Structure 1
């Protein structure tokens, strides 16, 4: 059963910083060591609204909106993974963040791991939900047991078809809350998630995201990037907390077993039943475990 008392409100003061010529939106709550929250796609810092209040009494919690997402600006760029990395790294540098604890979902894990690989001395620990720890060798590894999702993403990656579905028909964002979670989203929640992507032009960042997923050897540059930080991941002794569910899109039972066999300082937490959006089902449970784990790091 999912958590109760899940708020749909976003009760935070907005802050902005200019990175690479574009305004990046973020929220900054609490004091102390930095916990940096990185969302995936199609999402924004709204994802963390029920998590941050639990942790901000013990740490400085910062959640940015990736460039082109949430309330950040949408510059005229390709929104490739390389672009996002430049903006995330630039954000960290601009705010002079030190001794970072990353909390990341989905694509956010790629930006956290890529940074940590090159700046391990500035990272204290990492916690992940639906991380991209390794490429998917075949389509069978992606969303195992959910063939309809796989077929949808194959369409998303088909030239012209994917553009029409995501940009013109808005099927990616409009379906948030339909199948990737246990509970039904409220209309207020749906409105918040749709807010950054109301116009066709605003959907370029979320169209690009499925094109970048490392599946069956493509795209080569993303596969290489993830394989590179995967090698580092197997060597590092940084503390890692991994949440998982029974129907994860990115962390299957096989990948979970790989993590247990290969990661040196790993803590796992089984949330039970769930899928890609399980942060929206278990925000308080996740927060409690995050806080317990974080206090052991201090």
Structure 2
């Protein structure tokens, strides 16, 4: 398949008649895929992916509102400013994107750091949130004992100054070695190429390195724990309908975090969605689209939304 054919296939992968545009935010822009009209349904990805991760689910949910999938700052086709990619800094761009589009009555569909940013935004804008679905989220600190030892060792190396820069920025081994490890079956060559193409040079990979460094494990880094705690009160008190999809074996959503979610989060429905590790939009897109779509139909009807 030629490069031009691959590019055309990727452009069409969200379905017909999608719009692509760059939304100016702060000193940069967030590239956004959009389709439809009505109340917005916002899809937020995490590290090291892009809106492309949502393509199959986005397509299957067409017709349920104004679907929007941005590339977060530092990822995909969005800007890659020379900033410190702390969670607080990245949140500033997410907030600016929501405000630039004046999004209200929002349904959030979240994964990985997309959940951290989406829930943080929701907790500070409860009057603009309609419903929230999330899976494999960065939602609170994870116990290292519940994660693969190989990942814990790699994360420790990436957090070392100099070592992480060489592994991620200079040698691009996060995208060529670590990212492909997170799939039950090998990711297709075209999809892997699409994700890797977003980070062509060392200075374009700063957000990728920040991902494992910001991930809270055993309470560290404390700054990430504090950031995630900002959404805890809202999760526990808000009547907003919430859906958590779990996967087997999963990765971040450990058994302990599932129990915590069941005991802590108000108006939460938990549904098992099949086999998958972490980037489950690639592994179980049909199941996710069906479960999220059915849930939205039910909660919107019940809540009169």
TM surpasses 0.5? yes
Q: Give the corresponding residue for 2:10.
A: 9
- Consecutive unaligned residues of structure 2, counting only runs of 5 or more, are 1-8, 13-17, 301-305
Shift of 1:177: 5.8
Q: Tell me which of 50, 58, 80 is aligned to 1:44.
A: 50
* Correspondence for 1:201: 203
TM-score, length-scaled by structure 2: 0.90
Could you say which residue in structure 1 is the equivalent of 2:129?
Answer: 123
Please point out which of 115, 120, 141 is paired with 1:135: 141
- Residue 192 of structure 1, CA deviation: 0.4
Q: Equivalent residue of 1:129, what SS?
A: strand
> Does the aligned pair in 1 maintain the 2:88–2:227 contact within 8 Å?
no
**What CA distance in whole angstroms lies between the structure 2 residues aligned with 1:278 and 1:28?**
21
Runs of 4+ in structure 1 off by over 4 angstroms are none
**CA apart distance, 1:190:** 1.0
Quick one: distance in 1 between partners of 2:264 and 2:98? 28
Pairing 1:15-164 to 2, within 5 Å after superposition: 15-136=21-142, 138-141=143-146, 143=147, 146-164=148-166
Asked if the contact 1:134–1:227 (Cα under 8 Å) also holds between the matched residues in 2, the reply is yes
Q: Secondary structure at the match of 2:263?
A: helix
Q: Once the two structures are superposed, what CA deviation does each residue of 1:240-295 show, in whole Å capped at 9, x if it has no partner?
A: 11111122221111111111122221111212322111211100110011111111
Task: Please name the residue that 1:4 is paired with.
Answer: none
Give the number of aligned pairs. Answer: 287
Tell me, in whole angstroms, the C-alpha distance in 2 between the residues paired with 1:247 and 1:62. Answer: 29
Please, which runs of 5 or more residues in structure 1 have no aligned partner? 1-7
Quote the offset at 1:153 in angstroms.
Answer: 1.2
Deviates more, 1:217-226 or 1:288-297: 217-226
Please state which structure has a larger fraction of its residues in helix: 2
Check the 8 A contact 2:111/2:137 in 1, yes or no. Answer: yes
Look up the match of 2:247. 245
Rounded Cα–Cα distance in structure 2 between residues aligned with 1:121 and 1:22: 27
Equivalent residue for 2:236?
234
Once the 2 structures are TM-superposed, how far is the Cα of residue 30 of structure 1 from its aligned partner? 1.4
CA contact (8 A) 2:73 2:79 kept: yes
Report the secondary structure of 2:182's partner residue: coil
